[in-house]
Amino acid sequence: MRFYVTTAIDYVNAKPHIGHAYEKVIADIIARFQRLRGKKVFFLTGTDENAQKNSQAAKEAGIPTKKFVDRNVKYFKELTGILNISNDHFIRTTEESHIKISQNIFKKVLDKGDIYKGFYQGLYCEGCESYLTEKDLVDGKCPEHQKPPKPLKEEAYFFKLSKYKDQIIKLLESPTFVIPKEKRNEMLSRIKSDELKDLCVSRKGLNWGIDIPVDKKHKIYVWFDALINYVSALDYPDGKKFKEFWPADAHVIGKGINWFHSVIWPAMLISAGIKPPRTILVHGYLTVNGQKISKSLGAQIDPAEIVKRYEADHLRYFFAKEIPMGEDGDFSSKNLADRVNNELVANISNFCYRTLSFINRYSESRIGKIARGEWEKKLLKEIEKKIENIHKCYLDYNFRDAIKQILEIGDIGNRYFQGNEPWVLIKNDPGKCKEVLAFSANIVKDLAILLKPIIPEFAGKVEKQLNLKDLKWRDLKKPLENHRTGKAKILFRKIEGKVS
């Protein structure tokens, strides 16, 4: 009855862009769904502040690194509020507790003999803060940042990643360790076709970052430090949260850092005597005109500005419906408006408002006895089957198909309402009219529950209009009868005019 979900932690060398928003929303949908099922959830997000790119950006801005980092962290914290993200903790890797735990784990792995001092010579991408091989390059450039890496030669500490090759392969052969399977197969293919090389885990002569506990001339390499946030946030090794929530149920990450999470991270954990996470959930990139949105490429869209023009629920819905998990997706304001107008407004909002306003008008704001005729029995079976499928879609992180079937339930409600013509029925058979409205109201209740992980503001408004609180998944099976409702209000309005 516990569930631990995390996002990757974000570099703070610039303001967040819409790609950051996408990952946080996906993780939030997972967290909200698990809470809806009655699980105790710990949801972690945060910022990666020890990276050299943060220090370099601060230098370019003419601001001390700490002041620069503190300023930009605020933007990422604000983003969680703007998007209605329900995270339980926001970790910063400059926190003293994280620093101590990172040094603790580094020392533990060192004492085991899995870290040794050596000499590194090779290619280094400053954007990735990662060492690359010739095989990693495309036309001589880092595929992520479209820049050639710099040759680097320096003394360094190395982690014996190669020692854990067989154990990592065994993990990757599990169908649930990396989702989707295409991303798991990429890691398996890479690890099997190319000898797993030991990993450089330090940088020398830097003035920003976490000191190696046995050698103050070196800083812990940012990826070794950053990955540890997932356990330092739980107060590893003796914290109550660590004992309660570890291993993580889902690390939600972008495909560009799959290797670090699916290969390096579990090897680090095994070396330190910590259980690996259960699942790495890998999403694709958002694009604009087919180009990845990133700070370094300059294709930025500010999610805060989008929410100002539209609503957080609009953007959350677009992410979940438009982009299949694991695949890239293109952001378009026009497509966002089309989704809102043709699905949220024309289907969901239209049905909910008509039902609840008619109950206000024709049933004294009271949900009474539910109609239970042959048509209703048939529709209930259809709805129950779709709810089973929606539950499975949520469990499988298939939010797109979950929404598709939720919309089909909305269609059922609209057809039922229109087919019964309650505006006519109230004149000829008021009792039957009220039963029809009660049946419709129960579909409204179900829609609020089913959409709660994706568009929580909508769900909260429906609950208020139904005069209910904190609906759970189990309430899908509980008929709502003999209950007084609140005042009906329009839930979504059509996006008018030109969108950009």
What's the Rg (C-alpha) of the chain?
Answer: 26
Q: What are the C-alpha distances in Å from 303 to residues 137, 161, 318?
A: 31, 38, 12
Domain spanning 2-313 has what CATH number? Answer: 3.40.50.620
295 has a pLDDT exceeding 60: no
Answer yes or no: are the C-beta atoms of 414 and 347 closer than 8 Å.
yes
Exposed / middle / buried, residue 204 (Cβ in 10 Å: 0-12, 13-18, 19+): middle
Which is more confidently placed, 497 or 56? Answer: 56
Percent of the chain surpassing pLDDT 90: 80
Q: How confident is the model at residue 241 (pLDDT cuts 50, 70, 90)?
A: very high
Identical fold, 2-313 and 340-484:
no
4 has a pLDDT exceeding 60: yes
Which is more confidently placed, 286 or 274? Answer: 274
311 has a pLDDT exceeding 90: yes
Q: What are the C-alpha distances in Å from 280 to residues 60, 172, 190, 270?
A: 35, 10, 17, 16
Identify the weakest region by mean pLDDT among 146-160, 250-264, 362-376.
146-160
Instruction: Read off the pLDDT of each residue in 244-272 and give the average, rounded to a whole number.
Output: 97
Strands (E), 175-285: 178-179, 199-200, 202-204, 211-212, 215-220, 250-254, 280-283
Q: How far apart are CA 235 and CA 42, in angstroms?
A: 13
Instruction: Read off the pLDDT of each residue in 458-474 and give the average, rounded to a whole number.
Output: 98
At 333-353, the pLDDT tens digits run 899 999 999 999 999 999 999
φ and ψ of 289, to 5 deg: 55, 40
319 has a pLDDT exceeding 70: yes
Answer yes or no: are the C-beta atoms of 224 and 208 closer than 8 Å.
no
- Position 290 scores a pLDDT of 67
Q: What are the C-alpha distances in Å from 420 to residues 365, 440, 483, 490?
A: 19, 11, 22, 22
- Position 367 scores a pLDDT of 98
Q: 399-420 vs 350-362: helix axis angle to the nearest 10?
A: 40
Helix, strand or coil, per DSSP, at residue 17: coil
At 208-240, the pLDDT tens digits run 999 999 999 999 988 999 999 999 999 999 999
CATH architecture, domain defined by 340-484: Orthogonal Bundle (1.10)
| Domain ranges (residues) in the chain | 2-313, 340-484
Instruction: Read off the pLDDT of each residue in 23-45 and give the average, rounded to a whole number.
Output: 98
Max mean pLDDT among 11-25, 140-154, 451-465 falls in 451-465
Averaged pLDDT of the chain: 93
Give the helix ranges, DSSP H, for 323-398. 333-339, 350-362, 374-395
Identify the weakest region by mean pLDDT among 103-117, 267-281, 293-307, 459-473.
293-307
- Which are the catalytic amino acids? 17, 20, 125, 128, 142, 145, 292, 295
At 126-136, the pLDDT tens digits run 777 776 777 77
Helix, strand or coil, per DSSP, at residue 248: coil
Instruction: Read off the pLDDT of each residue in 115-122 and give the average, rounded to a whole number.
Output: 86
Structure tokens, 407: 């919309």
Cβ within 8 Å of residue 7, ≥6 positions away = 23, 24, 27, 44, 45, 46, 252, 253
Q: How confident is the model at residue 273 (pLDDT cuts 50, 70, 90)?
A: very high
At 393-403, the pLDDT tens digits run 999 999 999 99
